Amino acid sequence: MLSRPRRLLGTAASAFVAVLVGVPGVVLFRATEATPAVPLAGVEQWMTDALRPPDPATATVEQVAAFFAALPPPDATALTTRHPRVAGNLDGVPTALRYAANRAQRPDWADRTFLALDTRGDGRAAEVIGDLATAERVAVLVPGVDDTLAGFDSGHGGVLRRAPSWQARRLHTEMLRVEPGAKVAVIAWLGYDPPEGVRRDAFREDRAAAGAIALERFVDGLVLDRPGLAVTVIGHSYGSIVAGLAASRLSPQVTDIVAIGSPGMGVDDREDLGSPATVWAGSAPNDWTRRVPGLRLFGIGHATLPFDPGFGALPLPCEDVDGHDGYFLPGTSSLLAMARIGLGDDAR
């Protein structure tokens, strides 16, 4: 079934479906469901520890935080030292302990601060730029297709402007340029497994559904016991689908959701996101995602393109952006607008 279609199936849509039918491994009638979460590395040893820590698969962020709060500080440090791969990636573990655990995993990144780091497979990472402890506003960047730990600093295909860490640093720098001394942090959040290439899984939402669950939990950890912290979620490309699917369950402390270079957010209009957050959307004039049909057919596709005025998002300026990967380049209207949004200002 079409998801409350706003347009009739035309030439572009028919071509889109035709391409999908010819893509190996695509099953048109399979329902979208979240890909099962991969257990944290070292969880078996964690579960047999004498301190009896909570099960990462079932414990809430609040339960994890309460467990650590009840531990004497030496015990908490020792537990983290014994099990860095779990403690470094478990939402609810105190920030300082997560930083220490992830430094132990990558000594070559000892001068950096990571709230998540998993080197298995395509990898996971969540790097904090700025001082999270004093930040009053935090922006979380959710990257898209082809992003892996191997390209976290260099960008997939060796294109630096695609690198999540580079993008986060550009946004943080821009926020401080706009408001010197602002208490802000930016997080490059590669906390899920994006699809490989614009094919197969990229047309479905399984990976995004799993990412949405992880993003919800991650944000819950950020705002835990910090009622004054305001969070902006920025989804680029497939990352905007993650943000869209998570929107209704994200903490109300998420004040803004931004979709850039988006092939859709999994819903037909802004109201269907089910979030009180202000929603922004922008697309470069020559971004290839503009050619993606704004529909969903038999679980394939991501519904209305969010920059479409009919979607109902506020417009993010992108007139001077070049291509699908230019949104974080210094001097662009998109980078300035995202910085202003992250600072709590109106970007129009």
pLDDT at 231: 98
Last residue of a domain, one of 110, 131, 153: 110
Which candidate, 104, 67, 73, 71, places its Cα nearest to that of 89? Answer: 104
Do 342 and 239 fall into the same domain?
yes
The answer to whether residues 56 and 151 belong to one domain is: no
How many beta carbons lie within 10 A of that of residue 283, not counting itself?
Answer: 25
- CA distances to 74, 214, 237, 261, 336 from 264, in Å: 47, 19, 8, 9, 23
Query: What's the pLDDT at 207?
Result: 79
Q: Quick one: 104 and 146 in the same domain?
A: no
Q: How high is the pLDDT of residue 99?
A: 98
pLDDT at 10: 35
Q: Is residue 5 part of a domain?
A: no
Q: Are residues 189 and 63 in the same domain?
A: no
Q: Which of 110, 136, 165 is the last residue of a domain?
A: 110
For the chain, how many structural domains are there in total?
A: 2
Residue 95 lies inside a defined structural domain of this protein: yes
Q: What share of the chain is helix, strand, coil (3-state, %, to 5)?
A: 40, 15, 45
Task: Please state whether beta strands 314-315 and 124-130 pair in parallel, antiparallel, or not at all (unpaired).
Answer: unpaired
Whether residue 135 is found in the same domain as residue 100: no
Q: Do 143 and 105 share a structural domain?
A: no
Helix or strand holding residue 19 (H, E): helix 11-21
Return the pLDDT at 19: 38
**333 and 306 share a domain?**
yes
Lowest mean pLDDT among 77-81, 242-246, 262-266, 334-338: 262-266
The region of weakest confidence among 171-185, 195-209, 284-298 is: 195-209
In this predicted structure, what is the pLDDT of residue 184?
Answer: 98
- Residue 204 in any domain: the answer is yes
pLDDT band, residue 56 (cuts 50/70/90): very high
Q: Please check whether residue 30 lies inside any domain of the structure.
A: no
The Cα 306–Cα 314 span in angstroms is 9
Residue 1 lies inside a defined structural domain of this protein: no
Statement to judge: residues 99 and 158 lie in one domain: no
pTM: 0.88
187 and 293 inside one domain: yes
Q: What is the DSSP string of 203-245?
A: GSSHHHHHHHHHHHHHHHHHHTT-TT-EEEEEEETHHHHHHHH
Q: Mind listing the pLDDT tens digit for each residue in 191-233?
A: 999 888 655 555 566 778 899 999 999 999 999 999 999 999 9
Range of the domain at 45: 38-110
Q: Cα Rg for the chain, rounded, in angstroms? A: 20
Q: Strand ranges (DSSP E) for the chain?
A: 114-118, 124-130, 137-142, 184-190, 230-236, 254-260, 278-282, 314-315
Between 72-86, 92-106, 172-186, 277-291, the lowest mean confidence (pLDDT) is in 277-291
Mean pLDDT of the chain: 87
Decide if 328 is inside a domain: yes
Of the chain, the percentage scoring pLDDT greater than 70 comes to 84
pLDDT level of residue 26 (50, 70, 90 thresholds): very low
Cα separation, 229 vs 224, in Å, equals: 9
- The amino acid that residue 242 corresponds to is V
